[in-house]
Structure 1
């Protein structure tokens, strides 16, 4: 699995703000059973994802007059799909989804194994996912912290040119529409005593797409290193889907993964996957520091021990193919800086939400974001209207509190 690489960087400063125009806003929270909030729920208008809920189940929908007659489709794994009229949405909504009960009889009776399901998944990738080039418009957010202190908070509107879900496809390309990196958190400047930045994380995220690059879990050399089991069944937009859990084999001296995938029974399409480093191999995990940078950090008295790595992704069906609409990657290390007398937990979190898919691509990809790019547009004031008509994920409660402090200044 490609890693989030932390490197030394030189900071530059530039500010450019554009304000939203002619957009309406609606928002609220999506809950399920027992009023529990539901994270990363997709909210779709027509064939395109319009927005999604954050980790706290909250969402913000920006829409133009032109789509007032359309419907808002709200879907979540294991729950019945709900449709609402756009004309009826408003601020401070509370949307409750109803669980979709699925019988497990078919899983018990059919002579099928988890391994055979996974093999069919791999075989059906070209049928389930688009092999043609397509364009994704997305909103990206990354945060870096040492314990509770932020060392980085960056956001960007991106256009992504995907070469499609096929073997030996070319490298995806990213163009930045707009970006910002907060230089001030509340009343304090960003405290980055290590002078570290997150290097090229959007490329790292899309490179770990399970359906596009399945090698590190489903690949020929890795498949035999895992144990797979059918753990149950859930509903996806009225269809039954397998829940497949996996973990690395016992006694392997490698840092592999433990997690689950949700796979449609009808087509064997992966519609979601979540995995993290397995406790069985965590002792063999290597720090996400580039080979070149390690001697430098060692000389400076820094040491890193990897504690965990997580990855999540969600897909949405548009017409007859599945496309990604959400990725999340996180990396956690124990950090010790001998000469700076600093010790704590270094955590890096990055999310990429896809709000629109264009087939064929429509954008200009001459000014491509480099694979080692660090977001450089440093600002001191957090304003939501900075993004104009670009869609974005609503900040979680902790980030919302941060934003309110920044707005107060």
Structure 2
């Protein structure tokens, strides 16, 4: 099982940069901004990872862990509508002009029953998955695409924010019909790190945006479902649900009892009409501390024992003009750190997420320059620094920060001034 690109680097060298990497100047563009919160119509609970898309465009964003969103819309699209959707809920469409500055959007749960005959089209859940993987050339985008994406990674020592890195990147997305790897270009980035919260241990995510891009199971099945590895899993059908008012199959998967190496378990959501993977939520089995540690830890001090206690992944796809495309992914990793001779241990949580906020079909050459291109071994925190430019993100759509992150940024900015 190969999982080399979902890796964490632990180092003791403490580097602190103050300043701002400003790679591109932005051209001012007139736009309007709408903010809001998406909730369950009955319980009023916040809906996390809900999609917000401007109709007849590729502009979009996603809700944060509080169900909140912010969407910047060019004036030229002010008369358009916005669609709000979430796994297991009915899609809702509203005019931009009908939305307030801080709207509360309620979505109604969708109840779906897939006919038994429909499920019997496939002799078992594994056969359905195989068809989905083989079907990628037919239902996923097969043109070169240039995607604008927002990427964020945060590191917490227990509940305290210790490091924040954010970037606007462009993904040079290869067609799903070929096996060429995608490329990522860094457009703008920023970071801030409070090393006092890291207990002399600096955690860094190697791969940065690539780690999230490789959760695209359809483009990169080799990181979870190789032809050899599929035989190591058990698959079963679960209760069906809906995505964008369309019924989807739900497949449960987990490693077979006799398999000792760490594999994944979770759910796959497959569109019943196109057989496209629409969503996937899965975790790594971290019961074997030694083997699961080897999958993530690239470098650490000799007297430190580090092992993962949680590794959760999510990937969402979106359809446009009848073709599916990678839209969002989230990685949540929790590690326990034991220092030799110390009574208490430390718990670190690393979360990274990337959302496609706009994209367009590009010419066949795709990549025109290698300047500012990131490598799969990139550590984004080493590429960026500071929170100094108040107009940093300009017209770019981002994922609305959680209140705790906003507070941490302000606190770290004050610390920088005192320093």
- TM-score norm. by structure 1 comes to 0.89
Matched ranges for 1:9-408 at <5 A? 10-15=15-20, 22-32=30-40, 33-45=42-54, 46-106=56-116, 110=120, 112=122, 113-169=124-180, 171-183=181-193, 191=198, 193-278=200-285, 284-289=291-296, 293=299, 297-298=301-302, 301-338=303-340, 343-360=345-362, 364-367=368-371, 368-373=373-378, 374-375=380-381, 376-380=383-387, 383=390, 385-403=391-409, 405=411
| Superposed CA offset, 1:155-188 (max 9, x none) | 000001122223532x22111111100145xxx9
Cα distance, 1:150–1:37 mapped onto 2, change above 3 Å: closer
What do you get for the CA RMSD once the two structures are aligned?
A: 2.7
| Superposed CA offset, 1:93-113 (max 9, x none) | 110011222123336873532
3-state DSSP of counterpart to 2:43: helix
8 Å CA contact 1:173–1:365 kept in 2: the answer is no
- TM-score norm. by structure 2 comes to 0.87
3-state DSSP of counterpart to 2:345: strand
Q: What is the alpha-carbon distance in structure 2 between the residues aligned to residue 285 and residue 107 of structure 1?
A: 40
3-state DSSP of counterpart to 1:120: helix
User: Is the deviation greater in 366-375 or in 130-139?
Assistant: 366-375
Consecutive unaligned residues of structure 1, counting only runs of 5 or more, are none
8 Å CA contact 1:149–1:191 kept in 2: the answer is no
User: Is the deviation greater in 282-291 or in 205-214?
Assistant: 282-291
Cα distance, 1:363–1:192 mapped onto 2, change above 3 Å: farther
Cα distance, 1:266–1:117 mapped onto 2, change above 3 Å: same
| Superposed CA offset, 1:115-174 (max 9, x none) | 1211111111111212332111100000112222333210000001122223532x2211
Cα distance, 1:216–1:155 mapped onto 2, change above 3 Å: closer
Q: What is the alpha-carbon distance in structure 1 between the residues aligned to residue 218 and residue 21 of structure 2?
A: 37
Q: What is the alpha-carbon distance in structure 1 between the residues aligned to residue 413 and residue 17 of structure 2?
A: 23
Q: What is the alpha-carbon distance in structure 1 between the residues aligned to residue 337 and residue 117 of structure 2?
A: 45
Q: What is the alpha-carbon distance in structure 2 between the residues aligned to residue 88 and residue 311 of structure 1?
A: 35
Matched pairs, number: 399
Q: What is the alpha-carbon distance in structure 1 between the residues aligned to residue 367 and residue 224 of structure 2?
A: 33
Consecutive unaligned residues of structure 2, counting only runs of 5 or more, are none
